Structures are given as structure tokens and as C-alpha cells.
């Protein structure tokens, strides 16, 4: 029997079915588990959670106290997501996005560890994570997408899944996707789970793979699909994206060599989001490209590789000059892209902070190219100027 209790009634031995309220408030990546240790008990007591749901059929009941007994509300976390978040400036959303990302990383590590051990993945445990990412994307999509680029080669396998989750949701919004955005996010989070069936020495090899090794890596969509299919909880969208995110519209992808309309919209979206995050990320065998350069490359591959209309929508989603891109203006000043224009992708907002002529910092100031005579002269590699991604994020978030 499910029962809602105040935190004051919590005791070890209870089976926690769900925490009440915002997922970020509780200290666990799982939302359902038996409370067995003093450490976990104290962690919950110190959190901001005021109420939770216990299952008395799986653990201890409240003793000597009267608690609220009622039916479990239908997906309370999803009810929160249905409320349209208010759009907020990038610098304000960055902190919330970072908190979500930190928790998402741990949750994804645990999820992939379970998969590598051959255990069933609980979508109920990761569903609140997708909701939190969706809320962040709704408030300001650039924040989560920008923050996920901070991953290093050791984080890649885990945070790549989080990044694709955020990109799928943002692209779905751009396309006015008629299905469930939550399903798209879940598909993004689970799309690479089959890599846990690939030997780690191949997955993390620093050099070029042999043909035989690459054939093994190419098994991961099918291996992931088999894992999720066995699960029984995963919906068709996630199954489809997991199996077909490496297909190409010309039929030269894998594993099924599907082409054109045989590929679902979700699979075509997944292919674009997966490639974009992969080529912009540092990997064990290569450095990531800058976002704007990556879009140029993808545009060159577009014929036969990606769906043209979906790719155009993707570019509108993140901008020709994606947020976080370092650019040089015709005046010689350097700046980082902070926001996109609703009218034209060629005139974003930029925070200038450095003079290329004097090779020295200048007072940071945001300019809107829609209302300026300035134009973008070139896309710059931050490393050529002694900057890294963290430095650019710090510039963005400075008040």
C-alpha cells in the first residue's frame, strides 16, 4: 500500500517509492529504494524534502502515528513539467543547469553501470532526470546545451547521453513535435546504452580502430535495443532511436540500412543530435571541433546523411553561431555568443571581453548585432587565444 508521510515519520526499513516535489531537492539519483543505512537516512533528513511516499508492502510502515493515506498521484514530477517554465536569461539558468548536469552525470554513471552488469535499467528512476532537463531547456535551451560541452574525454560516454537528451528536447520544441517531448528526452538519454556491451578497451581506445574493432562498435545500437526490449518498460520512441541513430537517409548507415521515409522522425532527429555532440566533444582519440565549425561540416555531409528539413530546424535551434562560440568582430574585439536573435541567425547577442589588437582584456559588455554596425569577421578557436571552455562560460555568467 502506498502512503504519503512527512519526513518526521521516516524510519530505516521503509521502502521509499517516491520523493514529493522537485527532483533536485533530494540527494539520490534513484527515487525508489529501501532505506537501510543510517547514512542514507541522515542524507534525506538534511535535504529539503518535506514529504515522501512509502510502500508498506515492500518495507516498514509508520508505527504509532497517523499518516495521510491515499492513492499515489499520477506522475507528480510530470505534472510539474507540464507547467510552462518562464524563459530566463542564459546567465541565470547556467547555475540551475549545472546542478542538473551534476546529478545527471551520477545518475547516468549508475544507469550504465547497471547495464554493463547485465541488470535491468529502471526508467522510473531516470524519468525525473529527463523532466529536470526538459524544464531547463524550456527556461533557456542554450544553458544546458552549453554546459554539457564542458565534458572531458573521461566524462564523454555519460555526458554525451545527457547532451543528446537536451538536444532532442530542444529540437522537438523547434519542430513542434507532435509526440511526447519526454519520450524524445528519454530516447536521447538511452540511445547509447548498448555501448556498455562493448569491451572498454575498444570503447576507450586512444588510437584509430581496426576494421574488426569498428565492426564490434557498430554492434552497439542492436545490443542496446536488445537491452531495452528486455526491460519491458521502454517506449517505442526510445527503442527506435537506440536502434537507428546511426542510420543515414541514403541508406548507408547501420544496422538496418534504412533510408528516407523508412526512418522515423525521432530516428532522424537522433542521428543529428548524436553526431553534433560527438564531433564537438573531446574524445579519447581526438579533440572536439568548435560548434560553428561542426555545423559547417554537418552541412557538407547533409546530402544523403541527414534529413534536410530536420537539419535546418536543428540549426535554428542552436544558431549558426551557437551559444558559447568565440568570435572576432570587424573591430578586432573578441566576444562570446550569449543569445540568438529571433529575427536572424546572423546577428546574435555577443559579450565582448578582449581586444585582439592590444592582446589584452577589456571591460565586458553585451552588444546586440541587430542594433549595431558591428559584424562577425571570423569564428575563433579559444585555445589560439589562451582560453578554454570554462573561461568562456565564466565570461557568459559574469553579471
| pLDDT, tens only, 187-232 | 999 999 999 999 999 998 988 899 999 999 999 999 999 999 988 7
Identify whether residues 171 and 216 lie together within a single domain: yes
Residues spanned by the domain of 360: 326-397
Q: pLDDT: is 83 or 383 the higher one?
A: 383
What pLDDT is recorded for position 55?
Answer: 85
What pLDDT is recorded for position 334?
Answer: 98
| pLDDT, tens only, 95-152 | 899 999 998 999 999 999 999 998 888 888 889 999 999 999 999 999 999 988 888 7
Average pLDDT value over all residues in the chain? 87
| pLDDT, tens only, 57-100 | 888 888 644 334 443 333 333 333 334 456 788 888 988 999 99
The residue out of 318, 348, 373 marking a domain boundary is 318
pLDDT at 46 over 60: yes
pLDDT at 253 over 70: yes
Identify whether residues 116 and 58 lie together within a single domain: no
The residue out of 73, 88, 117 marking a domain boundary is 73
Identify whether residues 198 and 262 lie together within a single domain: yes
Identify whether residues 276 and 301 lie together within a single domain: yes
Identify whether residues 213 and 90 lie together within a single domain: yes
Identify whether residues 314 and 376 lie together within a single domain: no
Identify whether residues 159 and 14 lie together within a single domain: no
Q: Model pTM?
A: 0.78
CB 6 within 8 A of CB 50: yes
Residue 324: which residues within 8 A CB-CB, separation 6 or more? 142, 146, 149, 291, 336, 337, 389, 392, 393, 396
pLDDT at 1 over 90: no
**Number of domains comprising the chain:** 3
Identify whether residues 185 and 273 lie together within a single domain: yes
| pLDDT, tens only, 318-369 | 999 999 999 999 999 999 999 988 788 889 999 999 999 999 999 999 999 9
Identify whether residues 354 and 286 lie together within a single domain: no
What pLDDT is recorded for position 258?
Answer: 96
* Closest listed residue to residue 43, CA positions, set 97, 2, 6, 7: 7
The residue out of 293, 318, 343 marking a domain boundary is 318
Identify whether residues 50 and 144 lie together within a single domain: no
Identify whether residues 145 and 48 lie together within a single domain: no
Q: Look up the CATH number of the domain holding residue 216.
A: 1.10.3210.10
- pLDDT category of residue 48 using cuts at 50, 70 and 90: confident
What would the mean pLDDT of 371-375 be, rounded to a whole number? 93
What pLDDT is recorded for position 41?
Answer: 82
Identify whether residues 302 and 392 lie together within a single domain: no
Amino acid at each position: 500500500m502506498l502512503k504519503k508521510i512527512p519526513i518526521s515519520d521516516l524510519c530505516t526499513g521503509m521502502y521509499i517509492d517516491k520523493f514529493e516535489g522537485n527532483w533536485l531537492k533530494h540527494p539520490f539519483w534513484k527515487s525508489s529504494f529501501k532505506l537501510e543505512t543510517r547514512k542514507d537516512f541522515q542524507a534525506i533528513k538534511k535535504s529539503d524534502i518535506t514529504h515522501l511516499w512509502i510502500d508498506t508492502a515492500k518495507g516498514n510502515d509508520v508505527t504509532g502515528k497517523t499518516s495521510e493515506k491515499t492513492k499515489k498521484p499520477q506522475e507528480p514530477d510530470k505534472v510539474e513539467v507540464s507547467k510552462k517554465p518562464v524563459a530566463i536569461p542564459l546567465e541565470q539558468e547556467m547555475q540551475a543547469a549545472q546542478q542538473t548536469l551534476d546529478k545527471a552525470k551520477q545518475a547516468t554513471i549508475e544507469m550504465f553501470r547497471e547495464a554493463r552488469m547485465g541488470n535491468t535499467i529502471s526508467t522510473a528512476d531516470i524519468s525525473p532526470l529527463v523532466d529536470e532537463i526538459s524544464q531547463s531547456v524550456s527556461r533557456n535551451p542554450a544553458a544546458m546545451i552549453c554546459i554539457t560541452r564542458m565534458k572531458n574525454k573521461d566524462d564523454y560516454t555519460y555526458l554525451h547521453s545527457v547532451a543528446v537528451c537536451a538536444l532532442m528536447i530542444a529540437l522537438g520544441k523547434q519542430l513542434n513535435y507532435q509526440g511526447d517531448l519526454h519520450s524524445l528526452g528519454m530516447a536521447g538519454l538511452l540511445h547509447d546504452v548498448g555501448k556498455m556491451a562493448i569491451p572498454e578497451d575498444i570503447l576507450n581506445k586512444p588510437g584509430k580502430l581496426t576494421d574488426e574493432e569498428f565492426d564490434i562498435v557498430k554492434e552497439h545500437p542492436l545490443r542496446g535495443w536488445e537491452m531495452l526490449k528486455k526491460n519491458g518498460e521502454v517506449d517505442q520512441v526510445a527503442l527506435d532511436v537506440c536502434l537507428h541513430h546511426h542510420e543515414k537517409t541514403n541508406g548507408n548507415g547501420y544496422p538496418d540500412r534504412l533510408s528516407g521515409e523508412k526512418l522515423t522522425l525521432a530516428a532522424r532527429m537522433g542521428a543529428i543530435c548524436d553526431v553534433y555532440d560527438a564531433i564537438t566533444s573531446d574524445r579519447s582519440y581526438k579533440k572536439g571541433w568548435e560548434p560553428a565549425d561542426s555545423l559547417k561540416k554537418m552541412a557538407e555531409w547533409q546530402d544523403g546523411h541527414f534529413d534536410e528539413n530536420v537539419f535546418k530546424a536543428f540549426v535554428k535551434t542552436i544558431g549558426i553561431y551557437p551559444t558559447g562560440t568565440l568570435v572576432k568582430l570587424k573591430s578586432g574585439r573578441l566576444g562570446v555568443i550569449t543569445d540568438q536573435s529571433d529575427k536572424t541567425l546572423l546577428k546574435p547577442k555577443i559579450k565582448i571581453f578582449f581586444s585582439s589588437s592590444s592582446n589584452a582584456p577589456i571591460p565586458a559588455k553585451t552588444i546586440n548585432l541587430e542594433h549595431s554596425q558591428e559584424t562577425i569577421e571570423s569564428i575563433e578557436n579559444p585555445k589560439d587565444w589562451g582560453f578554454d571552455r570554462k573561461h568562456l562560460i565564466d565570461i557568459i555568467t559574469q553579471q
